[in-house]
Amino acid sequence: METPKTFQNILIVRTDRIGDVVLTTPAIKSLRQAYPAARISILVTPVTYDLVNGNPYVDEILVDDRQGRHKGLFGFLRLAREIRLKRFDLAIIYHTKRRYNLACYAAGIPFRLGYKNEKFGFLLSLPLKDARPWGTKHEAEYCMDVLKAIGVENDDLDIFVPLQKEAEGWMFNWMQENNLKPNEFITIHPGASDFTKCWPTANFALLMDRLAERYALKIVLIGSPQIMPVAAEILRQTRKASEFLNLTGKTSLAQMASLLRRSRLLISNDSGPVHVAAGVGTSVISLFLRNQPGINAERWKPLGAKSFILNNKLQPGSISVDNVMKLTEQIFKKDSQYEIF
């Protein structure tokens, strides 16, 4: 099928995790620049809605609520019907699942661009070879490469995460309650989507103690409710647990973004919050414990001048607390907004 020179109504499908959505934002911007008059919509999950709500390059956000109105077979049919009613002429399907290849086909979208694979990839009208498992490029670059199929080329990888008004209000109140100002705290995220990506709790505990000893900065733990036990174990191993603030399981994604925006630094496992921090302009150290193709730092490192990584490339367990402290010191040397005890 010959691709038209222009599109008027475009749907982007990005229904996977936090980092995936954030790393698609450069492609969204490029698409808008290439099609300034088009209507651009994005389909996401309820969890990641706030990552694109307020993005200036998106006209409408659709939500696939698989626990609610789009649950089960009838919910899937409802989703396909809702997409059909929007009359899209192009779907860019970044999340390569049977559900979305089939939904966009059933919705009658004439041009369906995505990765050809065993997940109903035969339903795509513009199928592409999926090179992502090799991990030779960054995920944001892979997102850009998809757009080349419709003549859009750009090397601008600036990511963007909007802040939400209600979350900003929460952040203001939280800082007042804890007698804190922006840049007066370091945020620690000890969670990840897979335990093999997680630095040992004993390392996080020692790191927090050493950071508290060296810098006149508060230490704040963040994360989803699922990692509350991990945070509790870290605090159990610290020497002065009462001095640390534990927000694990207590913030929404939007609140976390506002918190990270005011953080002096985020130190985290390889996980979604590192990309949120980069997207709001905060310095970040991301710890990469895995180096296999497709899940390596080359593909998933946070982007931007304020983003740094430590990698287990030499041998498993090679990231030490000393490594993190040294990199923190190097980052802070570029900024006078801190004090050393």
pLDDT in tens, 33-52: 999 999 999 999 999 999 99
pTM of the predicted model, to two decimals? Answer: 0.95
Q: Which two tokens stand for residue 248?
A: 């694990």
**Are 228 and 24 a contacting pair, CB within 8 Å?**
no
Q: What is the pLDDT of residue 292?
A: 84
The structural domains of the chain, ordered by start, are 9-150 (3.40.50.2000), 165-333 (3.40.50.2000)
Instruction: Supply the pLDDT for residue 108.
Output: 97
- Close Cβ partners of 268 (under 8 Å, ≥ 6 residues apart): 187, 188, 189, 190, 274, 277, 284, 285, 286, 287
In angstroms, the CA 195 to CA 201 distance is 11
pLDDT-derived band of residue 315, with 50, 70 and 90 as boundaries?
low
- Give the model's confidence band at 6: pLDDT under 50 very low, under 70 low, under 90 confident, else very high: confident
How far is 139 from 272, CA to CA, in rounded Å? 13
Q: Is the pLDDT of residue 337 over 70?
A: no
* Mean pLDDT in residue range 197-215: 96
Angstrom distances, CA of residue 238 to CA of 189, 205, 263? 15, 5, 21
- Model pLDDT, residue 47: 96
Q: Which amino acid is at 158?
A: D
pLDDT of the residue at 317: 63
Q: Is the pLDDT of residue 246 over 60?
A: yes
Q: How many CA atoms lie within 13 A of 272 on its CB side?
A: 21
Query: What is the pLDDT at residue 318?
Result: 82
Dump pLDDT digits (tens) for 316-325. Answer: 568 999 999 9
Predicted confidence (pLDDT) per residue in 247-291, tens digit: 999 999 999 999 999 999 999 999 999 999 999 999 999 999 988
Residue linked to tokens 């041009």:
111
Return mean pLDDT, the chain. Answer: 94
List pLDDT tens digits, range 186-203: 999 999 988 889 999 999
* Averaged pLDDT for residues 155-164: 96
